[in-house]
Chain A
Amino acid sequence: MRFLKRTWLWFDDLTGLSAMLGPLLDHPVPKARKTAWFYVLGSATLIAFLIQVVTGTALASGYVASSGQAYSTLQFISSAPIGRVIRGIHYFGASAMIILIGLHTIRVYLMASYKYPRQMNWLSGVALLLLTLAMLFTGQLLRWDQTGFWSVLIAAEQAGRVPFIGNWLGHFILAGDTVGGATLSRFFAAHVFFLPGLMFLIVGLHLYLVVHNGISEPPSTKNPVDPKTYRPWFQALLAREGEPFWPYAAWRDVVFGFLVVATVVGLAILVGPPLLGKPPDPTIVEATPRPEWYFLWYYAILSIIPKWSENWVMVWAPAAFGAALVLLPFVARKGQRSPIRRPWSFAVVGVILFSIAYYGEVGKIAPWSPRMDAPPLPATVVGATSGPVADGARIFHDKGCEYCHKVAGYGGIRGPDLTYTGDTLTPAQIITRIYSGAANMPSYRGNITPDQMSALLAFLGSRHRQPIEPPVASGQP
């Protein structure tokens, strides 16, 4: 022990480490009292980031960033027991990081800690939030399975909606004319060097600002922020009741941070990383790319908005959201910080959280997606094995009707459920719909023979709440 202590003193004498770090650890922080546990979210985000740095470095040592080989290196990593766990930690670490940075942003927003003098804290935090989203996108793509491959094209097509530079931007994402050898390397470089490098710099700035401006005191209705008097007032508050950060505030960060690490590692071992999809082979046309859970809500919103609004939602809504985040600390730079006096802030957070949860669920179901794997209706549902009703049921499947219309639990849910069409629509109405189509249904005029149509009518007309006598399969009163 004595030797260790002497070594440390020698090292510290040569480096001045304790003289540099001491003030950082000892810097006084205001008493947070009841809200103390809300203050652990920032450090927990940092811990999640560090988890990603460590496991990402480990993964990079087994990964080949080549469009042709990345998939097999991922198979290799996933087949090794420790590789599987590391992939799991990296996956759940990413989820933890976006959840924690989201909650941290919400905490800062609700407590209005972004007001004077902490505007730069907020702006650097916004940059980190956006960079985290970029990391999520580039990271899920490095899995380089079928979904990863098509994500690049989908991203490029979305970028293509940007006015003037869209085409260039889209091809910049592809790294050329088509998805190919250059594509994955570019995303790898972004995910492993460019974005994390920026994040290290901005995390440094963010932490420096936290110490420089001091951790915000819990808001109180009695102390609105006045930029003219805030700093001396805050210094007086710290002198009066401040506590050294280490260990009086830091212990909570450590406890919560440990829980984050334990949860992430536990999930990685128990649940494991997401399974690899099919290989990134464009000749496999049967592909149904879906985003990870954290982008499902966005996928859902893009799917349900009206057609005319698409360019606005894809290009201008994210831009407006970013602009709102940047302008917030300048528009609301002083005054009340207490959320009780800013009730709309709860509404804003409520709407955002509800939308993410609700549209995330909708995105999971994806009611707008045709169920192209729907099997032909079984005879028990059809109620006939031959004759016009059976023919009609086969045409219902072959013409793709079933991909969007459900009958007795089979088929898609994009269009109306047709289990009881016989009760709700007359044959004339059915014919009109099939021939004229609708915004989300193709017109079958010229695409269906009179024989096929009459069989289809027989089938749809036989869909009743109370089944007609089974033997009288084709006859319909």
Chain B
Amino acid sequence: MSENSPSDAPTQSRPQLNRRKFLVRLSIALSSIGAALVAVPSAAFLLGLRKSPRIWRTVGKLDDFKVGETVNVAFEDPSPLPWAGVTAQTTAWLRRVSDQEFIAFSTICTHLGCPVRWLSTADLFMCPCHGGVFYADGDVASGPPPKPLNRYPVRISNNEVQILTMPVPIA
């Protein structure tokens, strides 16, 4: 060490530069790896989305629903987090079309996601935000919605009406 002490001497510049280069690269590489060790799992946790299974949720007994009527039903998301509270609920407009046939419409307007309301006397769904209107079958009647109302699969099982949960339809 002591022999090489005048580090700025021109004769020493080459080996010094190599050593310098090595140390710089070592430091940059170690810093990058260290940062990645922390950042990758953090980003993965942040970006990772919890996937829920799709399951059948009971929304009532078959006899609770009258043929021809459209009512609002609520059901719990497939695997709600314990602290989700009321937000674990999802609602749908459920219509008993005939004795054995049901249709369940998503309440979420296909325009920008506001909750549509069923107007029983007008046989229309109406959105309070931008005035989108849907016919009783969910087709667009007027206003800005680009698509008909989304539907949930419904089934009757053991005299109970069940809705198959699904992710919020987006785009």
Closest-CB distance, B105 to chain A (whole angstroms): 12
Given known contacts A156-B168, A400-B124, A285 and B107 CB-to-CB distance under 8 angstroms: yes
- Interface flags, B63-86, vs A, CB<8A=1, else 0: 000000000101001101111111
**CB pair A414 B112 closer than 8 Å:** no
A-B contact count (CB 8 A): 183
**CB pair B171 A303 closer than 8 Å:** no
With an 8 Å Cβ cutoff, the count of chain A residues facing the other chain is: 62
Which chain B residues border A400 with CB–CB below 8 Å?
119, 121-122, 124, 126, 133
- Interface window among B4-12, B26-34, B138-146: B138-146
- Interface window among B15-23, B48-56, B94-102, B152-160: B48-56
B13 on interface, CB distance cutoff 8 Å? no
Which chain A residues border B129 with CB–CB below 8 Å?
154, 288-289, 303, 369
**CB pair A157 B117 closer than 8 Å:** no
Given known contacts A153-B168, A160-B171, A447-B122, A180 and B115 CB-to-CB distance under 8 angstroms: no
A274 on interface, CB distance cutoff 8 Å? no
The residue in chain B whose Cβ has the minimal distance to the Cβ of A166 is B171
Which chain B residues border A447 with CB–CB below 8 Å?
122-124, 135
B58 on interface, CB distance cutoff 8 Å? no
The residue in chain A whose Cβ has the minimal distance to the Cβ of B74 is A283
Which chain A residues border B168 with CB–CB below 8 Å?
153, 156, 170-171, 174, 177-179
Given known contacts A156-B113, A372-B117, A443-B141, A287 and B128 CB-to-CB distance under 8 angstroms: yes
Q: Of B78, B128, B166, which one neighbours A369 at CB under 8 angstroms?
A: B128
Closest-CB distance, B36 to chain A (whole angstroms): 19
Closest-CB distance, A135 to chain B (whole angstroms): 18
Chain B residues in the interface with A (C-beta under 8 A): 47, 49-52, 72, 74, 77-78, 80-91, 107-108, 111-115, 117, 119, 121-124, 126, 128-131, 133, 135, 141-144, 146, 166-168, 170-171
What 3 A-B pairs have minimum CB-CB distances, sorted nearest first? A68-B85, A181-B81, A160-B171
A-B contact pairs, 9 of them (CB 8 A): A150-B113, A171-B170, A172-B47, A174-B168, A177-B51, A178-B52, A180-B81, A282-B74, A398-B121
